[in-house]
Structure 1
């Protein structure tokens, strides 16, 4: 217990060292949102359209305006608290494979000390740990046989960030295999609408709340925004809109092919297989989707660590490859310069994707041999 407490304190101390750093994104967005909320009376300010994030995160900023804490520290504390929740659900998922011993705690510690996880919130003042914590929680509850609660967690994740859709193919697989009742899908948008309620009560425009993610998706026209994905191998100077549309269609088709291949193979839904599919989709979708930011591999950063604990023999290189690709794509924003050519980072992410796909195929072959 003493060792565990010491390690938790260490992970918090590492973050506290980074708290004074102010990123460009923080100054350009989050700080200005906070100041707008504070200048317009706290929660009543949410009736205005001043941010491109969904309102649940703005609720947290509104709470900060009532507390005697510096805004930068307050914003980062929010993310760090969800870092802890993320580590907790990583522990719970890994403990399903190792109910005794120290490996679940090692997995949680590893995730909490990943460079991308540490810098995302404590340095960059981003909030990707929020949706990721709810996403990993959803995976945990679905494999524990609590599909309705899993759908609630998917809804909570979606209320904070659109990027949880990278795990929706897994949800579709589970629905088609009748591990999640199809009415549970209605819970996901239901939770989002429920969380929009307080903003509606203070006079927010319903149309704006319903279109916030559509507006986000249309905001970026570049094929890739520093993401280590397939578009780093292209040098397109024209017809980018056409390629973007084709990329969306290709990704959708590829996801459906994988989903129906899993269904057609009639695999048994085991905890390791769900973990493996979650890690696979967390890499696959942002790797092929256009207009991805570098931070959109955050779920992959976390879930590949979990997958490596489930399949240590073959997947131990995967979280290293993903972390290498993901973190070095952060460096232009955190340190002002790129440390590694993005094409090498994209190649590393592709190798990680191939290794996870290979393990999925091997899992199916092992099941056939056992039958």
Structure 2
């Protein structure tokens, strides 16, 4: 090796973390660039017409409701109309930016629990996995959806909740709610932790609601009803009704009679979650260490999307991210993560390319995995005590 080569090699070795980070970031951008011209059904029938409507009067269009999404996303979309660029590119770039923020947040979480620096191999690996994950890429760059935005704030909320930084956690939770109603899938976990920890007041939930409401302040000043932010979500729950939309669901084995089965599905979900809450309150399920904490959060989200009616293809997006966080804590959860992400990828492939739907076989496999995970989470609730003690010693 020549001296010049040796110098170059030393530089590469010294800055390998930064270089790998940049290479993965550029690769992620290039992959997303390939999806720039794909016009999904949601983009064609909803997002672009909403954008065009806002283009006429800019931000003042929001004096009235435009489309189906809540106010905060409308505000961002209205601001984007002032930038002279293709509307579809603007919509996708906003979500893509949060792809990177989400990947960074999850990678940073992995570094904290492994006590590694941000230029470590664990950071680079997790950052690359999240950034290049098929559901993450397809959601923003191809579909044009914004699930990375609410998931970013939901992830920050969960991390701060575990670290007992409750004000930050509930502020982030309120922002996540302002972007997507799907944040409701982790809300029962906060209720369980409220009864378990007994370290934060119920007023923190009011803080989240206030932050959610506050995100609509600019349009309230334009004359909108002060309760519109809440009304939009109430309206959303009555739209596009079906027992399931191309997602693993228990109701695939029963039928699609939403009018008669919807209430039953909600009651069954509440009963299952209620059992989880009872076990937490009785001390049979511990939530002290990271594995129990994030494992139970995953169980709650998974239970919601598997049993509730009106679940869509994208509704496991946050769950897929949470699985990666849980795998960072303990690799034994890798099979669950792979199965969940694979099902999400199949759902995206069906929606975008008509490439095969979720079948009863797939739903049966996920139900079997859920039963196994439920047994391990709820029946073995005290197995994490040693790990909790080890975490405390590290901290």
The yes-or-no answer on 1:201 pairing with 2:221 is: yes
Residue 174 (structure 1) shift:
1.7
Contact residue 322 and residue 348 of structure 1 kept, 8 A: no
Shift of 1:235: 3.0
SS in structure 2 at match of 1:141: helix
Matches within 5 A, 1:301-316: 301-312=320-331, 314-316=332-334
Counterpart in 1 of 2:271? 253
Report the CA distance between 1:368 and its aligned residue.
Answer: 6.5
RMSD: 1.9
Higher gyration radius (CA): 2
Q: In structure 1, which of residues 320, 325, 339 is the aligned counterpart of residue 338 of structure 2?
A: 320
Counterpart contact for 1:147–1:181, Cα < 8 Å: no
- Residues 368/193 of structure 1: CA separation in 2 closer, same or farther (3 Å cut): closer
Determine if contact 2:69/2:232 at 8 Å carries over to the other structure. Answer: yes
- 2:333 & 2:264 partners in 1: Cα distance? 31
Could you tell me how far apart the structure 2 residues matched to 1:135 and 1:368 are?
26
Deviation at 1:349, TM superposition (A): 2.7
Kept in 1, the 8 Å contact 2:95–2:146? The answer is: yes
2:234 corresponding residue in structure 1: 214
Using the TM superposition, give the Cα deviation of residue 310 of structure 1 relative to its aligned residue in structure 2, in angstroms: 1.3
Matches within 5 A, 1:327-342: 327-335=345-353, 337-342=354-359
Aligned residues: 366
Residue 155 (structure 1) aligns with: 174
1:69 aligns with 2:85: yes
1:42 maps to: 58
Contact map agreement 2:171 2:207 (CA 8 A) in 1: yes
Q: 5+ residue gaps in structure 1?
A: none
Question: For each residue in 1:319-353, what CA deviation from the matched residue of structure 2 results, as whole angstroms up to 9, or x when unmatched?
Answer: 11001111111222200x24254223323432442
- Unaligned stretches of 5+ in structure 2? 1-17, 390-395
Q: 1:90 to 1:354 in 2, by over 3 A?
A: farther
Which of these residues, 104, 119, 141, is aligned with residue 160 of structure 2? 141
2:34 aligned counterpart, secondary structure: helix
**Residues 17-69 of structure 1, C-alpha deviation per residue, up to 9 Å, x if partnerless?**
11111111101011011100111x11100011231110100111111111122
Paired position in structure 2 for 1:299: 318
Give the alignment's TM-score, normalised by structure 2: 0.88
Q: Which residue in 1 is equivalent to 2:187?
A: 168
- 1:21 equivalent in structure 2: 38
Aligned partner of 1:129 in structure 2 is 148
Contact 1:282 1:303 in 2 (8 A): no
State the distance in 1 between where 2:165 and 2:358 align: 43
CA 104–263 in structure 1, closer or farther in 2 if over 3 Å, else same:
farther
- Counterparts of 2:253 and 2:364, CA distance in 1: 9
State the match for 1:180 in structure 2: 200
Question: Of 100, 106, 110, which aligns to 1:84?
Answer: 100
In the other structure, the counterpart of 1:93 is 109
